Amino acid sequence: MASLKDIKRHISAVKQTQKLTRAMNMVAASKLRSTQNRAELFRNYADEHERLIQEIAKRSQLEACSLLKTVTSSKKALILAITSDRGLCGSFNSNIFSSLDRALVTLLQRGLDPELFLVGRKGRDYYQRRRVTIHKSLVGELGSFDYLMAKTIAEELIDDFTAGRYQEIWLVYTRFQSLTRLVVEFDRFLPLAQAISEKAPRTSESLDYLVEPQAQTLMERLIPRSLAIFIFRALLESVTSENAARMQAMDNASKSCKDIIENLTMAYNKARQAAVTSELLDIVNGAEALKG
């Protein structure tokens, strides 16, 4: 049985851990409020822009733009996966890795050679230890990302696709729905013709637009912007989900620390009572021996 001094030292250490988890919970909650507000405001703009692309795509020849048609000369596929730079966020990253592993197997079964474009240190560290080709990795950028970063990534992916290096490009990220519901999304990025058909609304209602200049010309200008918006939205959703997961993880850790402290306190009281009882027995036995 542990001594009273050891138990007291253990209680002190757990209390320090509890202070740390509470502080991290407060920091994550503050960041969550900021990123959640940005994500919700941008979500409306991104949805409207996506709807506009779908409407204009109906009026243009989908095969005319290089970003819309499928590349058949390449047998490679690229997955842009957004993870976190830091840990202590529960199952946030493990859920992404689980979905991403299944996606890699699916692409291999289709006869494609998958490569990864990883955003976040955790994703890079995880797949460096596995037999997966890493096309590129960005580490330490999620703390201060902006639209320019999303635009740069989009331009790089567009250049790789138009050069015929990849037949398909996919995007994996975590979409924030609520504090208790974070959904890992696996969306087609390029070719855009299939992505548009997969996301097209099922209703037949459609607004009648007067498109100037030609729809094809307008699509060639709007598509790069649309892809950058898609990536920026994914970054916002992913960072918001990460902060929500970290806040929940630190809250659970604080509650676990409280339970551990209560159990250790009970063990300390029992050990102290046992020590007092033992000392009283020694005194009583000594007194009886002196009488004897």
Do 37 and 97 sit in the same domain of this protein? yes
Do 57 and 199 sit in the same domain of this protein? yes
Query: Residue 269 belongs to what domain range?
Result: 4-20+250-291
Stretch 76-88: mean pLDDT, rounded? 94
Q: Report pLDDT digits (tens) over 29-68.
A: 999 998 998 898 898 888 888 887 777 766 555 555 656 6
pLDDT at 202: 45
Do 136 and 148 sit in the same domain of this protein? yes
Do 199 and 283 sit in the same domain of this protein? no
Which DSSP letter does residue 168 get? Answer: E
Q: What is the mean pLDDT of the chain?
A: 86
Structural contact between residues 8 and 15, judged by C-beta atoms closer than 8 angstroms:
no
Q: Report pLDDT digits (tens) over 113-150.
A: 999 999 999 999 999 988 899 999 999 999 888 999 99
Do 128 and 31 sit in the same domain of this protein? yes
Do 116 and 207 sit in the same domain of this protein? yes
Stretch 85-90: mean pLDDT, rounded? 92
Q: Report pLDDT digits (tens) over 250-267.
A: 999 999 999 999 999 998
Which secondary-structure segment (H or E) carries 138?
strand 133-138
Residue 205: Cβ-neighbour burial (10 angstroms; 0-12, 13-18, 19+): exposed
Do 215 and 280 sit in the same domain of this protein? no
Q: What is the CATH number of the domain that holds 270?
A: 1.10.287.80
Greater model confidence, 252 or 213: 252
**Region of poorest pLDDT, from 34-48, 77-91, 122-136, 191-205:** 191-205
**The whole model's pTM is what?**
0.84
pLDDT at 292: 61
Greater model confidence, 149 or 193: 149
Do 70 and 207 sit in the same domain of this protein? yes
Instruction: Count CB atoms within 10 A of the CB of residue 263.
Output: 12
How many domains are there within the chain?
Answer: 2
